[in-house]
Amino acid sequence: METVLAGGKAWTSYAFICGLLIYAVYSAPFPAQPGLIEGIIAALLIVFVSVPTGIVVMSGGFTIYQKYNLFPVALHIGFFTMLWLGLFNGAVVYSWNVVDIIRDLIPCVYIFAPFLLLPAMKRSKLDWFKILPWILSINGVVFAVRFYLEAGISPLDVGKMYYSDNLLYLPYDPSVSFASIFLPIMAVHTWKGTNLFRWSGSLLMLVAGLVSLGSLMAVAQRAPLGLAVLSYFIYFLIGSRKSFKKIILLLIILISVFILVQDQLASTFDLLMTKQEDYGMNGKNNEMIAVLHETSRSIYSLFFGIGWGGLFYDPTYNAEVSFTHSAITFFLLKGGIIGLLVFLYYLSWISRRILLNMTVSKLPYSLSVIVPLTIGLIFQPTFKTLSYGMVLTFLCLLFPNSHTRRQES
């Protein structure tokens, strides 16, 4: 049975890394018309995962897959059921457009990407726990730089007005919020006062993190910015009990940044307040009501949803759309109560891993993954992006699997 999941050589790992970097350099979080670039990225990801592993995960090879001891079998069964039931509903019961069906299938696969990626990472000789957060950070900085170039501005222009990147939504990629938290905190976390190399590395991480944070400020993203500030504050409170020197460094950084960009900070705050007054919850409460109305049309849609590719009238846009602003309403709409329960089980399993394994040494990583995951769950449709799946995968690498430990003991 092991041969079914075997395969993959060293070069496949580098193909995977290339795929992620190509995504940041040439693609977009929500490509309007996926083309050659997206096809290349998909091919590189498939090469890394391997076709046999993909077949085992997608076709319900529960017994074979359990040899990896990565996930509870009930969770794998739930994913399998939701994936294929949603496809049956979308293609057969409701006969939705094929393109819309594919557009819904992709975020479902992204959210459950750890099922596909962790076996490949376990076979690989690379230390993905050390590699993946830096790839995510590089991608976040690349997306931020691309935003500045697309908008025709520099970081010093942040705060003057809202800026647009021609509907590419580059700062909305989860890797940007990841980098804006991970890099500044790691700049302090890894700093050593007597090491010139560490000094240089910390300075580089700080600048790169601020570049990412600036792109979030330029488009006045309220939730990511608020959660980023909260993350810095949490690290400051906990870190102050571990290293007085690092807290002094953090205070120096904060004061210096404030002095250098106080005008941008003040004007950005005004933009955020204006946006809050103008948009409030941005129609998310009305969207939730619309989803509940759509799924309650019949007993069948209440329990099984309207399937992948399903459209519903969203009062926020005054039109029929196939997406929602949060992963929770997305799975309720597409999978009904059954789909939502599967997703909530997945969330509870992830949350349990975090609560059982949280340590101070993992705090920079923990804050960096929790923020983009929370944004996709509640505030923005970033759960539909490739980076969201990568953040979830890194979270699974970050926290040891208690399910695995029980089986191995």
Q: Residue 336, CB half-sphere, CA atoms under 13 Å: how many?
A: 20
Q: Is it the case that residue 317 has pLDDT exceeding 70?
A: yes
Q: Give the C-alpha separation, 389 to 175, whole Å.
A: 10
Task: Quote the percentage of the chain above a pLDDT of 90.
Answer: 59
Q: What pLDDT digit, counting tens, does each position of 230-273 carry?
A: 999 898 888 767 666 767 777 787 787 777 777 777 777 777 77
Question: Whose CA is closest to 13, among 152, 107, 135, 149?
Answer: 135
Position 3 scores a pLDDT of 39
Tokens for 252, please give them: 């120096």
Position 326 scores a pLDDT of 92
Q: Across the chain, what does the average pLDDT equal?
A: 88
Q: What pLDDT digit, counting tens, does each position of 291-316 carry?
A: 999 999 999 999 999 999 999 998 88
Give Cα 375 distance to the centre of its chain: 8
Angle between helices 196-218 and 222-239 (to 10 degrees): 150
Helix (H, G, I), strand (E, B) or coil at 241: coil
Question: If you compute the radius of gyration of the chain from its CA atoms, what whole number of angstroms results?
Answer: 22
If pLDDT is split at 50, 70 and 90, which confidence band does 400 have? low
If pLDDT is split at 50, 70 and 90, which confidence band does 280 have? low
Q: What is the mean pLDDT of residues 176-201?
A: 85
Tokens for 336, please give them: 């009904």
Angle between helices 174-189 and 244-279 (to 10 degrees): 160
Q: Give the C-alpha separation, 50 to 52, whole Å.
A: 6
Question: Whose CA is closest to 228, among 75, 32, 364, 402?
Answer: 364
One-letter amino acid for residue 170 of the chain? L
Position 408 scores a pLDDT of 42
Q: Give the C-alpha separation, 358 to 91, whole Å.
A: 42
Q: What pLDDT digit, counting tens, does each position of 128-180 carry?
A: 999 999 999 999 999 999 999 999 998 888 877 888 888 899 999 999 999 99
Task: Quote the percentage of the chain above a pLDDT of 70.
Answer: 91
Helix (H, G, I), strand (E, B) or coil at 7: coil
Position 401 scores a pLDDT of 64
If pLDDT is split at 50, 70 and 90, which confidence band does 102 have? very high
Question: Whose CA is closest to 323, among 339, 307, 341, 311?
Answer: 311
Q: Give the C-alpha separation, 291 to 142, whole Å.
A: 35
Long-range pairs of 294-300 with CB within 8 A, sequence gap ≥ 24: 294/333, 295/332, 295/333, 295/336, 300/93
Q: Could you tell me the maximum CA-CA distance found in the chain, to the nearest angstrom?
A: 68
